[in-house]
Homo-oligomer: A and B are copies of this chain.
Amino acid sequence: MTPSFAELKQNLKAKNINLSFQRLKVLEYLVNNRCHPSVEQIFSDLLKELPTLSKTTVYNTLRILTETGLVRSMTIDDNETRYDINTKNHGHFKCNSCHTIYDFYVDIDNFCSDDLKNFKIENKNVYFMGICPRCLTNKE
């Protein structure tokens, strides 16, 4: 379901994107951290391993990956873009208490109103907010 490195590399090559060392590391991070990290998280975590990494490079890499469709970007509520290696259509739930972002399955494809009959839809987003089960039980 989630793409392997080999597949990602193939995709990059197919789109004429050079896979530099830094880009590899960002991609690797997204594959290993499917928690919808922010630029700040990605950057500060990778900095431990790559002390010379620049935040600009992280931004540039994420822009390229998003433009070529290998990564999905989203802004859920707050003013910090989050990144997701899973580009399949799925919904997101953000807990207002612990701020975790959960994935959930949703049948977005069969989900089209008559109002949009003549629209060309390129992108579908569904996100909910509320309290997650963990936080609900902790409150009691």
Chain A residues packing against B (C-beta within 8 Å): 75, 77, 79, 91, 93, 96, 102-106, 111, 113-116, 118-133, 136
Contact = CB atoms under 8 A, between A and B. Distances in A.
A105 B96 contact: no
Q: Report which residue of A77, A104, A116, A130 has the largest number of chain B beta carbons within 10 angstroms of its beta carbon.
A: A116
- 5 closest A-B pairs (Cβ-Cβ)? A104-B115, A118-B133, A122-B130, A123-B129, A120-B131
A111 B122 CA distance: 21
Given A116-B128, A119-B133, 19 more contacts: A75-B75, A75-B77, A75-B79, A91-B113, A93-B119, A104-B113, A104-B116, A106-B111, A118-B133, A119-B130, A120-B130, A121-B130, A122-B131, A123-B128, A123-B129, A124-B128, A125-B125, A125-B129, A126-B126
Q: How many copies does the complex hold?
A: 2
A76 B54 CA distance: 28
Nearest to A131: B120
Contacts of A75: 75, 77, 79
Contacts of A115: 102-105
Given A106-B113, A113-B106, A128 B132 contact: no
